[in-house]
């Protein structure tokens, strides 16, 4: 599913979040007199890469189309503690109803973008590309992959429908690497990438001989990654995966692999600390 569908996914994400939080009505918002107008600012309490502004806006505009949001910094900007990110003007009741879902999106997606930015920064000057995975929060696949791009990373396949990844179970069921590769080449539509995961240097050799052009090195040691890069000799793109951390990612990039995939970018995140302060006339 291409990123041209992003607007559709934003609306779906926000509708689900608002339904989840508001249900058949916000009981607390009724404490505010109807038609009261309010002004709010959103600030960050820690450094981050800002991401999720479209989801944030959609939360407010869905409930109050007349709401006005003015951003002081743009999507992808580096932000500092106590910096004002945006101002919000609108109906007080709907502002309070939209606050938590909107901040949830902004905090979560900024966390993904920020962690990605740290991995990209750690490999600055190296040729290896930082890649995401399908280890995403349920329902937020496209949102989190958007955040990876905002943080300077790269997207892999969106799902099971736009790329083939041959893993251990596929190999076992097919009866070996050469057989599974032959089958994959036969049934996969033109232009769809085919990647195979290998666990040993012997399997790497089998995959290369079977015509693999995109190979994932699963939990290889640094020494074996070096050997794999030398042996492949650019016959295939090699991707390192498993056990990658901020502490060792530069060493992994130094082995000469083309890509480094990191599930932690989207599954092991800590929301950025943001706060919305509302003022009433």
Euclidean distance between CA atoms 13 and 59, whole angstroms = 9
- pTM comes to 0.95
pLDDT in tens, 221-277: 999 999 999 999 999 999 999 999 999 999 999 999 999 999 999 999 999 999 999
pLDDT in tens, 1-37: 445 589 999 999 999 999 999 999 999 999 999 999 9
My answer on whether 260 and 231 are in the same domain is yes
My answer on whether 110 and 198 are in the same domain is no
pLDDT at 268: 94
- 273, 44 Cβ separation under 8 angstroms: yes
**Domain housing 201:** 126-267
> Helix, strand or coil for residue 75?
coil
My answer on whether 256 and 175 are in the same domain is yes
Residue 67: pLDDT above 80? yes
My answer on whether 81 and 164 are in the same domain is no
> Helix, strand or coil for residue 109?
helix
Residues with catalytic roles:
100, 135, 167, 197, 218
My answer on whether 51 and 141 are in the same domain is no
CATH code of the domain covering residue 252:
3.20.20.70
My answer on whether 247 and 132 are in the same domain is yes
Mean pLDDT of 118-125: 98
pLDDT band for position 164 (50/70/90)? very high
My answer on whether 68 and 144 are in the same domain is no
My answer on whether 149 and 263 are in the same domain is yes
* Residue percentage of the chain with pLDDT more than 90: 98
Please list, residue by residue across 61-81, b when 16 or more beta carbons sit within 10 angstroms of its beta carbon and e when fewer do.
bbbbeebebebebebbbebee
My answer on whether 202 and 231 are in the same domain is yes
Round the average pLDDT of the chain to a whole number and report it: 96
My answer on whether 61 and 146 are in the same domain is no
Mean pLDDT of 204-212: 98
Mean pLDDT of 55-82: 98
What's the number of domains the chain is made of?
2
Residue 216, phi then psi, degrees to nearest 5: -100, 125
pLDDT at 4: 58
Euclidean distance between CA atoms 43 and 31, whole angstroms = 25
CATH code of the domain covering residue 53:
3.90.1170.20
Q: Which residues contact 63 (CB under 8 A, 6 or more apart)?
A: 18, 91, 94, 97, 98
pLDDT in tens, 165-189: 999 999 999 999 999 999 999 999 9
pLDDT at 5: 85
My answer on whether 159 and 239 are in the same domain is yes
My answer on whether 148 and 112 are in the same domain is no
- 28, 96 Cβ separation under 8 angstroms: yes
Q: Which residues contact 77 (CB under 8 A, 6 or more apart)?
A: 49, 50
Please give the C-alpha separations between residue 129 and each of 112, 166, 202, 222, 237, in angstroms, as whole numbers: 16, 21, 25, 17, 11
Mean pLDDT of 61-88: 98
């Amino acid at each position: 599913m291409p990123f041209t569908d992003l607007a559709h996914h934003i609306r779906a994400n926000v509708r689900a979040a608002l339904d989840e939080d508001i249900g058949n009505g916000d009981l607390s918002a009724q404490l505010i007199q109807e038609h009261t107008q309010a002004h709010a600012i959103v600030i960050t309490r820690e450094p981050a890469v800002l991401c999720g502004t479209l989801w944030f806006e959609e939360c407010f505009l869905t409930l109050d189309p007349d709401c006005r949001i003015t951003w002081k910094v743009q999507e992808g900007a580096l932000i500092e503690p106590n910096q004002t990110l945006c101002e919000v003007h609108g109906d007080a009741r709907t502002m309070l109803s939209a606050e938590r879902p909107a901040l949830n999106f902004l905090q979560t997606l900024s966390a993904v973008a920020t962690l990605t930015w740290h991995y990209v920064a750690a490999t600055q000057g190296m040729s290896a590309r930082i890649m995401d995975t399908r280890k995403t929060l349920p329902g937020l696949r496209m949102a989190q992959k958007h955040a990876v791009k905002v943080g300077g990373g790269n997207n892999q396949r969106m799902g099971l429908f736009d790329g083939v990844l041959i893993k251990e179970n596929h190999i076992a069921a097919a009866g070996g690497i050469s057989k599974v590769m032959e089958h994959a080449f036969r049934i996969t539509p033109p232009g769809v990438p085919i990647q195979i995961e290998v666990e040993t240097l012997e399997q790497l050799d089998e995959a290369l001989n079977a015509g693999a052009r995109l190979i994932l090195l699963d939990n290889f040691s640094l020494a074996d990654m070096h050997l794999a890069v030398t042996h492949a000799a650019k016959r295939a793109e090699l991707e390192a995966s498993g056990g990658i951390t901020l502490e060792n990612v530069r060493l992994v990039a130094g082995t000469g692999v083309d890509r480094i995939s990191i599930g932690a970018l989207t599954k092991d995140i800590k929301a950025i600390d943001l706060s919305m302060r509302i003022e009433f006339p």
